[in-house]
Amino acid sequence: MARPFERALRYFPKVRRRWLWGMAAVPLASGLPLAVISIVGHVVDGIDPTQGAGDAAGGGAGLGAGSGASMSPFDAAGWGGLILLLVLVAAAAKFAMRYCITGASRDFERIYRQDLFAHLMSLSPRDLSGVRTGDIMSRSVADIEAVRMLLGPAVMYNAQAIVVVPTALTLMGLLDPLLMAVMLIPFVGLALVIKVAARPTQRWSQAAQEHLADVSIAAQEGFSGIRVLKASTAEPRAGALFRRMGRKLYDANLALATLRGVTSAAITAVKELGVLAILVLGGWHVVQGQLTSGQLLQFIMLLGFALWPLIAIGWMLGMWHRAVTGYNRLEELFSIAPSVDRASDPVRTEPLRGELSVSGLTFAWDDQPVLHDISFELPAGGSLGITGRTGCGKSTLVQLVSRLVEPPAGSVRLDGHDVRLLDPASLRRAVSVVPQDTFLFSDSIRNNIAFAGDHINDEGVQRAAKLARLHEDIQGFSDGYEQLLGERGVTLSGGQRQRTAIARALAADPSVIVLDDCLSAVDSVTEQEILANLRRTLEGRTAIIVSHRVNALRLADQILVLDEGRIIERGSHAELLAAGGLYAEIAERQRIEEELEAL
C-alpha cells in the first residue's frame, strides 16, 4: 500500500527552497513574542513599588524575578523600545513565514493540478467514461485545495506549535511548577475530546467532499442539458434533485461544524479553566510572595500564547482528515491507466501521406465483440465510405483507425507504420476526426475553427468556413467571426455546430480526414453542397466518410457495408446498388422517404 501523500510529496523538491525559507522564519516569528512576554513581566515588576528585594523568593523564571528597586522612566523607555523592536522583527518574520510557506503551498497546488490535468489528457474518452465531469471538477479543485491546506498552512501552524507550546510550558513551569501542573489536567481532557472526535470527523469530511461532487455534477449536467430540461418541462425534477444533493451536503457540513464546535468549545473551556486556576491559585501565590505581579501577568500571557497553537492543532486535525479523503479521491483518478500507450521509441515521420491499411482487425468492448476480421486498403488520396445499420461498429472502427482507442498490434497501419508505434502528436496532426457528437468550446467561432494550432490565420479560418458552407451564416452574426459561442456551442443550431466542427478539421490541413456521420443535422441539399466543396478540397487527401445516408457516399472510391461488426459488402456506389444487397435496400428506403418528404 502506498504511503499517505506519497505522490504529493514528490512535488516537494520543486517548492523546497521557498518552503524552507518560510520554516526558517518560524523560530523568530514564534519565539520573539515569548521574549516580549518576559520583558513585559520584568517591566511590570520594575514599575511596581510594592515589589521588594525579598519578594518572589520562589520565582525563578523571567526577567522580573526579584527585581528589587523601582525602574526609572529612562529604563522603562529603553525596555519599551526593545519591545517595539522585537515586535517589528517578529512581525517581519511572521510575514516572511506566511508568504514563503503559503506561497510554496500555492506552487504545490499549481503543480499538482497541472499534473492531474496532464494525466487526464493522457486518457482516452473510453478511459474516462466511468467518471462524471462534475466529479472530476470537484476533485481537481476542492480535493487539491484540501491537500494544499494540510501541506501549507496546517504544517506552518503545527511548526509554530512545536516552538511555542514546549517553550511556553517550560517557562510556566519555571515560574510556578504547581500552578503549571494543575493547568495540565484540563489539557488531558482536551486531548481525549480531540481523539474521540477524530474518526467521525474523517467520516463526515469524506461525506462532505463526496456530496460536494454530487452537487457539482447536478449543476453541471443541469446547465449543460438546459434545452432538454426545458423541452421536457423537467425543471421541477432537476430542482428537486439539486435540492436533495444540496441537503446531503448541508447535513454533512452541519455534522462537521458540530464536531468542530465541540472541539472549539473544549479548547475554550480549557482556556477559561486555566485562567480561573491562575486567578485563584496564582493570586494566592502572589499573596504568599511566591509570585510577583509581573510573573503572574507572564503566566496569563503565556497561557494565552500557548493555547492558540493548540487551537491550530485542532484545526489541523480537521485539515488532516479532509486532506486524506481528498488525496485518496485524487489517487482514484491517477490510478486510471491510459488504454492508449505511447511507444517507448515512437516513429516520427512527417508529413504522413495518408496510405491506410487495416488487416484482420477484431475488437471487443469489455468482452463484447464489436468488429470481426475487418480488412481493407485505402491508398493515399483515396476515399472510403462506411455505412450500415445502427450499432454495426462504424464509430468504433473510426476510433480504432484514429487511435482514440488502442487497436490490436499490427492491425492498423498508416504509411506502412503500425499506428501504435507512431508518435501520437504526429498521428493527431495527420488524422483529423469530425465526431458524430460535436463539441465546441465557449469561445469565439474564429478560435473554435482555428483550435488546431496558432499557425492557422484568419484567411485559413475563412477558407475552411466557406468550404463547410458556414461563412454566410457567420456573416449574419452581429460580431462575425468574433461571435462568442455558449457552452458546447449552445447558441448555434445543430447544423451550424456540425459545420463548425467540419471547418475546424479542414483548417487543420490533415493528410487524413474522417467524417463520422457528422452531417446528420443538416438537410440533404446542404449536405450535397458541403460534400461537393469537400470533394474539391479533399483531392490529394485521404478521406473516410461514415454516414447512414447513401447520397453522402455515392462518390467514394470504395464503400464498406457493415452488419453486426462484419464487412458484408464492398464496392462502388453503382456496384453495390447492382448487387441488390443491404446497401441497395438502404438506398431504396431512403429514396422513398425523400419522395414522401417532397409531397
Which residue range is the domain that position 112 belongs to? 6-334
In a domain, 212, yes or no: yes
Which DSSP category does 478 fall into? T
- pTM of the predicted structure, to 2 decimals: 0.73
Sign for the pseudo-dihedral over CA of 39, 41, 43, 45: negative
In a domain, 396, yes or no: yes
Q: 382 and 297, same structural domain?
A: no
DSSP-assigned beta bridge partners for residue 371: 363
SS (H, E, C) 460-474: HHHHHHHHCCCHHHH
Q: 404 and 295, same structural domain?
A: no
Q: 569 and 539, same structural domain?
A: yes
In a domain, 339, yes or no: no
Q: 286 and 369, same structural domain?
A: no
CATH number of the domain residue 553 falls in? 3.40.50.300
Which DSSP category does 484 fall into? B
In a domain, 341, yes or no: no
Residue matched to cell numbers 488504454: 339
In a domain, 588, yes or no: no
* Confidence (pLDDT) at 100: 93
Q: 411 and 330, same structural domain?
A: no
DSSP-assigned beta bridge partners for residue 386: 546, 560
* Confidence (pLDDT) at 597: 67
Determine phi and psi for 431, rounding to 5 degrees.
Answer: -115, 120
For residues 270 and 189, the answer to whether their CB atoms sit within 8 Å is yes
Residue-wise pLDDT tens digits, 88-110: 999 999 999 999 999 999 999 99
Determine phi and psi for 551, rounding to 5 degrees.
Answer: -65, -30
Q: 534 and 430, same structural domain?
A: yes
| Spatial separation of the C-alpha atoms in residues 219 and 126, rounded to whole Å | 23
Q: 383 and 328, same structural domain?
A: no
- Nearest to 40, CA basis, from 88, 84, 93, 89: 84
Count of the separate structural domains present in the chain: 2
SS (H, E, C) 148-197: HHHHHHHHHHHHHHHHHHHHHHHHHHHHCHHHHHHHHHHHHHHHHHHHHH
pLDDT of 55 higher than 90: no
* Confidence (pLDDT) at 53: 40
pLDDT of 474 higher than 50: yes
In a domain, 121, yes or no: yes
Q: 137 and 221, same structural domain?
A: yes
Residues comprising the chain, all counted? 599
Tell me which range, 124-133, 186-195, 530-539, is most confidently predicted by mean pLDDT.
124-133
Edge to edge, the sheet with strand 368-378 lists 368-378, 356-365, 412-414, 417-418
* Buried b or exposed e, range 80-98, using 16+ CB within 10 angstroms: eeebeebeeebeebbebbb
Mean pLDDT (the chain) is 81
For residues 116 and 333, the answer to whether their CB atoms sit within 8 Å is yes
CATH number of the domain residue 126 falls in? 1.20.1560.10
Give the percent of the chain with pLDDT over 70.
87
In a domain, 75, yes or no: yes
Q: 48 and 173, same structural domain?
A: yes
Q: 179 and 50, same structural domain?
A: yes
Residue-wise pLDDT tens digits, 243-253: 888 888 888 88
531 vs 170: which has the higher pLDDT: 170
Q: Which residues contact 350 (CB under 8 A, 6 or more apart)?
A: 426, 429, 430
Single-letter amino acid, residue 24: A
Q: 202 and 63, same structural domain?
A: yes
**1: confidence class by pLDDT, cuts 50, 70, 90:** very low
SS3 11: coil
pLDDT of 57 higher than 50: no
Q: 182 and 101, same structural domain?
A: yes
Among 334, 368, 399, the domain-final residue is 334
Q: Which residues contact 221 (CB under 8 A, 6 or more apart)?
A: 134
- Nearest to 404, CA basis, from 368, 434, 376, 440: 434
Sign for the pseudo-dihedral over CA of 93, 98, 99, 103: positive
pLDDT of 60 higher than 70: no
For residues 452 and 461, the answer to whether their CB atoms sit within 8 Å is no
In a domain, 173, yes or no: yes
